[in-house]
Chain A
Amino acid sequence: MTIKTGIASEAPRTGYIGAGVPRPGARRLLQGRGRYVDDIRLPRLAHVAFVRSPYAHARIVRIDVAGAAASPGVIRVVSGPEVASLCTPWVGVLTNRKGLKSAPQHALAIDRACWQGEAVAAVAAETRVQAENAAQLIDVEWQELAALTDAETALDPQTPVLHPELGDNLAFQCEADTGGVDEVFATAHKIVAATFHTGRHTPVTLEPRSILADFNPAERQLTVYQATQVPYMLQWILAKHFGLPEVSVRVIAPDVGGSFGAKIHVYGDEMTAVALSIMLGRPVKFVADRLESFVTDVHARGHRITARMAVSEAGDILGIDFDDLYGIGPYSGYPRGSASEAQQVINLVGGPYKNRVYRGRSRAVFQNKNMYGQYRGVGHPIACAVTEGLVDLAAEAVGMDPAEFRRRNYIPADAYPYKLAAGPVFEKLSQHEAHDKLLKLMDYAALRAEQAALRQRGIYRGIGLAAVVKMTNPSSATYGQGGVSIAAQDGCTIKLTATGGITCAASINEFGQGAATIVAQIAATALGVALDRVKVVTGDTDATPYGGGNWGSRGTGIGGEAVLRAGTALRQHILAFVARLTETEPSLLDIRDGTVVDAATGAARMTLEEVARTVYFRSDKVPADFSPELVVTRHFTQKSYDGICTNGIQACYLEVDVETGFVKLLRHWVVHDCGTMVNPLLVDEQIRGALVQGLGAALFEECLYSPEGQLTNGSLIDYLVPMAREMPDIEVAHCCTPTATSELGAKGTGEAGTAGAPAAVMNAINDALRPFGARVTAQPFTPERILRALGKIPDGALPADATPAR
């Protein structure tokens, strides 16, 4: 049985590794028979609605719930102190993010609300509409306070400090300095510089955040159905903050309607729903509506980066120097902290390239805006935009083609494992191979010729490249070593059923990306059975092994490896048993199509059903000295590196209407290397979906805050997400460099598309505008920003509501 197959189409196809099979679990979704949290009905279910702060920063002087308590259908009304009596507060710091500081945060705000949308009171009622009606009757007396809404001035001495006990508004700072930076810049042939802005984003999962908490007071058992990527993390959190034994808490993730990182954080309103269930002894459901989502689902990515690059006359990157600033919420997120973007930016600016001289600083400052957390790509899109933006500038400065400039500067193919100037170690990348493959796939030369010809006719098209390095399969360095109980390992329990079927309980989770299918494919391959004989169970802390769940592109690489090891171990047990019964050696046997056979001749020895029946029901036939185990659990963790790096390269081809500033995306190409691909169909679709989120970042998405801290575009009418008409066809191809840290050889895939797309679009727009000497560096690249760069709109105040107070 060969697993490390290289590129699926070139290697012998054994089992299902490398097979682009459709997902068995998608059938029910196609028929509207998914079961999302909001579809679940329990007897005596109560519904929650919240009163939320209309101010970015305000003291809660008084909350009067009398009118609400008497409203029809109302069961209970609570505010901060009542919930605090059941649920302890939290602080979003990790010991491995030195200097990360934050203040205690309660489920419902007490004394002070710190962002517009923060929940301060909750109503549980028989129906959601009754809860909303009652919430409107709650009378809150506010004392509005000055709001921190400009990250640039957050650290000025005259700016009020949000948490006086913390001393200043700096949540986190990290730096890297190799030394030699000033010298390199002083003597460089050319220096290029720019200030980049990335928009503050929100994930906009189509299924809103949803939780159904069911506390059974008779048994003191808490069952929580939650749209989440990480049931075990939540189990730990709930047990900890509600003072319940861990074994009394069960978290179940049913079908989840998209997450992308939104549903891996602790939210005060969700914790309040749990508190209410405990208070009432009945099930309580909270589903965030879309308007609530915009002001409470984690935000991410709003950075300002001032950067410069030194380059030699021959076109070698000599040095990179940058300063990054971003505004988070009023507290660091919990339990993962809001410092990850800073860390990834410091780690990965310049990542694809062999430059050794490097200095960077990233700072996160508190703001009276929504909470801030990990969202697909976490920092990589920013690092890539800065790096690839500087690279294009540098290529232009030395008169070199941008593709050629990149290829010249990639980390040499024989330099691996390679330690970056900022610290992370890359196991092995295939940048040159991917690069060459991309240029061929898109017919780079032909596109350049087409671009030139069209320019003569006043049609301005641009080609933009973006080289991506993306960390996946993280080790315990990310969280465990920081004192946060988020697992870096995952497990799989695999069982042969009485009729020769296979069940697989895995600790990774399915939320549309195909995790359950991957598990089934690996298990079916290991056990030599047809795919439809495998049942997969995920998303239930009572029913699966302990594991970290899905985030950071770790599902297939880590979870999949656990499945492979468990399946391989079960296979060995089965072969050992049959060998014993038939008096031969396990190495002379194989399992094919559900039957244990003679490996050389294919002659059938025992079907798996016969094996199971014998072991389970005919113990008289089992040799006395033999104890067959048909249920096996194995775990896997990646600890050779802090993370396994993948590489990819994207190209964007677009057209800019230079009279209107409008951009039309024509085509997009990606070549990506994620090692072994268990299911290439699913990999391609992960890449496409991630990429389109990046296109949204490039052209459309931005949370707009007024100077007073009001989110001014918090609806789907005003916050623009990418829709079908504007998106291009996306061609995907692959290289394959399996990781040596596992048998499966799979690296992560889910986020890389998001990391590179904004940079590719930016570079393409600037390439299109090259004849005009115009350049854009602030995302999203709106028509107004492009027209400004072209000099068609006089520089002046932006519309008042759109002042980018980041």
Chain B
Amino acid sequence: MTTARDSFDITVTVNGVPVSRRVEARQHLTDFLREELGLTGSHLGCEHGVCGACTVRVNGEIVRGCLMLALQADGARVETIEGLSQSGAIADLQRAFHERNALQCGFCTPGMLIAAAELLESRPGATREEIRTHLAGNYCRCTGYHAIVDAVEAAGRERVRRQA
């Protein structure tokens, strides 16, 4: 990619499956996932990196898909809500969200789950304030956040209990 061009051939591992496509330089990762691969579980709420609806995992870390060019994911490992659901990696969080109605319209939910999962990986015993701080970059208009904090806290406590 050292020659300046408008489009490139990339190979990205998405949800464990290598995918090769030609992409325009201008296309961000979320549009690539949604439009090219039909993985519409990642949502666009602002396209300026504020709402967090586009949150996905790249090489194990959460990123905002709208602030990353698709070609920057060349050679990377991308996990979307579809893959994380299928693998069961966040099943406990999803269950906790479901039980506490920590989602209403569902538009923020994939991003919210993926963001919360990152916190619980390193700090399953996170306090309510730590949860609120970590999720401070994910906008939800429906729930008012209380039920989301309940769900993340409950899932975290359960992980601590299982690890003990």
A interacts with B: yes
Q: 1/0 per residue A23-47: CB within 8 Å of B? A: 1001101111111101101000000
Residues of B within 8 A of A692 (CB): 143-145
- Known contacts: A207-B43, A688-B147, A692-B145. The answer to whether A32 contacts B80 by CB under 8 A is yes
24 contacts between A and B (CB under 8 A): A23-B101, A26-B103, A26-B106, A29-B103, A30-B94, A31-B81, A32-B41, A32-B42, A36-B40, A36-B43, A38-B44, A206-B105, A207-B43, A207-B45, A208-B45, A289-B47, A513-B142, A692-B145, A716-B50, A723-B137, A723-B139, A724-B132, A724-B133, A727-B146
CB < 8 Å neighbour of B105 from A129, A255, A722, A724: A255
Beyond A36-B40, A129-B26, A724-B132, 11 additional contacts (C-beta under 8 Å) are: A27-B98, A29-B109, A32-B39, A32-B82, A36-B43, A38-B44, A206-B108, A206-B140, A290-B51, A514-B101, A692-B144
By the criterion CB–CB under 8 Å, are B101 and A681 in contact? yes
A612 close to B (CB within 8 Å): no
B interface residue count range (under 10 / 10 to 19 / 20 to 34 / 35 or more): 35 or more
Which size class do A's interface residues fall under?
A: 35 or more
Give complex CA distance A258, B106 in Å.
8
Q: Is the CB of A512 within 8 A of B48?
A: no
Determine whether A260 belongs to the interface, using a CB cutoff of 8 Å to chain B: yes
How far, in whole Å, are A33 and B106 apart by their CA atoms in the complex? 10
Chain B: interface secondary structure? loop
Contact with B along A246-289 (1 / 0, CB 8 A): 00000000011110100000000000000000000000000001
Q: Which residue of B lies closest to A729 (CB)?
A: B146
Interface pair B142/A258, CB less than 8 Å apart: yes
Interface residue? A204 (CB, 8 A): yes
Tell me whether B147 and A205 are in contact (CB under 8 A).
no
Contact with A along B79-123 (1 / 0, CB 8 A): 011100100000000100111110111111110010000000000
Knowing A257-B43, A725-B133 touch, does A30 contact B113 (C-beta < 8 A)? Answer: yes
Closest A residue by C-beta to B82? A32
**Is B71 in the interface zone, CB < 8 Å from A?**
no
Interface of A is mostly: loop
Provide the bound-state CA to CA distance between A161 and B14, in Å: 59
Residue interface mask A486-527, B partner, CB < 8 A = 1: 000000000000000000000000011110000000000000
Render A693-717 as a binary contact track against B, CB cut-off 8 A, 1 for contact. Answer: 1000000000000000000000111
Within 8 Å of chain A (Cβ to Cβ): is B135?
yes
Partner of B128 from the list A31, A689, A715, A729 (CB cut-off 8 Å) is A729
A722 to B108: give the CA distance in the assembly, Å: 14
5 A-B pairs with least C-beta separation: A32-B41, A29-B106, A512-B105, A692-B144, A257-B107
Instruction: Report A687 CB to chain B, min CB distance, Å.
Output: 9
Once A23-B101, A257-B105, A511-B105 are accepted as A-B contacts, the answer to whether A32 and B110 lie under 8 Å apart by CB is: yes
- Chain B CB within 10 Å — which of A27, A203, A724 has the most? A724
* Contact status B147-A206, CB under 8 Å: no
CB atoms of A31 and B94 under 8 A apart: yes
The answer to whether residues A513 and B104 also contact, given A206-B139, A724-B132, A730-B144 and a CB cut-off of 8 A, is: yes
